[in-house]
Chain A
Amino acid sequence: MTDERQAIVACKAGNTENFRFIVDKYKTRAYQAAYYYTGNREDALDISQEAFYRAFRSIKRFDITKNFYTWFYKILKNLCINFIHSKKSRRIYYENSNKNTFTSEITSSDDNPQVQLEKKERSQLLKKALDELKNKDKDIIILKDFQDLSYAEIAEVLNIPAGSVMSRLYYARKKLVKKLEFLNE
């Protein structure tokens, strides 16, 4: 945290090299978040890199006492929303997102191939169900379950009262569970 704060202070003074520390720390989370929205590797890379560039450009306005990632996430999410809207208007987003499956991003692990394949298939079903949710529900699930933000941080990102986070999560997860039949077996 101290290192991060020092890096941000240096960035505020215009030091580009210190921004690398921030990028290295958050690039995986940023990429994954963008991927959950775009469903495409190249677009997720492009959007997450653009978000880092815009964060650096605006870093003088960042309040050092606040959480960097929640601030950065707002920039990233807005870029994702713009991207989805522009793709939707060209009517190619869904076709593309269906072609680019989540499994293409995953490398082999220590599990045996059968177990790995099952995991990939279930993850694909989960990704598909997630994509079918309304943005409001999808947002809160991504923030909690895939970005691992606390309820207070989620409230800050979504600009909602902290007390509403739990109920919004409940209704969103309930809809997701309903879509995933294998969870109800």
Chain B
Amino acid sequence: MNNKLSCKEARILMMGLIDNELSNDNKLVVMEHINSCSACQTQFDSFNKLKEEEIIMNDLPLSEEIFDEYWTHVYNRIERATGWVILSIGTIITLTYAAYMMLKTFFYDESEPMVLKFGVAFLAIGLIIVFVSVLREKLRIRKSDKYRRILR
């Protein structure tokens, strides 16, 4: 590293010095600049004071009761999600079967007019197409959208 740092360079590298992310050589170069420049020295001192305040804030003890039942709440969410998936699958199977039986009875009933049967058939086909289209779009977005974790 160039031993003659500008103040701007030195101030940015100060961060690495404070956070212990500089190599020993770089530490020496930055320290040399700080020791020879009063403006950078002042800034270095204020950054160190900030760090001390942050350490105090971070070290203030949290009350233990905050974490009472913490795991239980996480576990409940996991368990409930599994429950919802199983419930949803069961509901879909049951409703699909009920719809199939209703439609079967309806279409085999000769007393129902043919026009109504066509109407119901188009309605069912239309619903399936719309459902598949929305589902396909959702899956495509889920696969390609980098902001998918952001709830809209």
Residue positions of A touching B, CB distance < 8 A: 16, 19-20, 23-24, 27-28, 31-32, 41, 45, 49-50, 52-54, 56-57, 74-75, 78, 81-82, 102, 105-107, 109, 119-120, 122-123, 126-127, 144-146, 150-151, 166-167, 169-170, 173-174, 176-177, 180, 183-184
Contacts and interface: CB of A to CB of B under 8 A. Distances in A.
Interface in B37-82: 43, 46-47, 49-51, 53-54, 56-58, 60-63, 66-67, 70-71, 73-75, 77-79, 81
A106 B58 CA distance: 10
A174 B49 CA distance: 12
Interface range, B side: 35 or more
> Which label, helix, strand, loop or mixed, suits the secondary structure of the B interface?
helix
23 contacts: A20-B75, A27-B71, A28-B62, A45-B66, A45-B70, A45-B73, A53-B74, A78-B150, A106-B60, A109-B61, A119-B56, A123-B56, A126-B53, A144-B19, A145-B58, A146-B58, A166-B12, A166-B13, A166-B15, A167-B12, A170-B15, A173-B15, A180-B50
B46 A24 contact: no
Contacts of B81: 53, 57
A20 B73 CA distance: 11
Contacts of B53: 122-123, 126, 180, 183
Contacts, number: 112
Interface hub of B15, B49, B61, B66 (most chain A Cβ within 10 A):
B15
A159 B117 CA distance: 58
Contacts of B11: 170
A151 B58 contact: no
B15 A41 contact: no
B73 A27 contact: no
> Which label, helix, strand, loop or mixed, suits the secondary structure of the A interface?
helix
Contacts of A53: 74, 77-78, 81
B21 interface: yes
Contact of A50 (B60, B63, B70, B77): B77
Nearest to A127: B57
B14 interface: yes
Contacts of B138: none
Given A27-B70, A53-B81, 7 more contacts: A24-B71, A32-B58, A105-B62, A105-B63, A107-B63, A109-B60, A170-B11
A123 B60 contact: yes
Contacts of A78: 149-150
B16 interface: yes
Contacts of B47: 173, 177
Interface in B1-48: 11-16, 19, 21, 43, 46-47
Interface in B68-127: 70-71, 73-75, 77-79, 81
Interface hub of B16, B21, B47, B57 (most chain A Cβ within 10 A):
B57
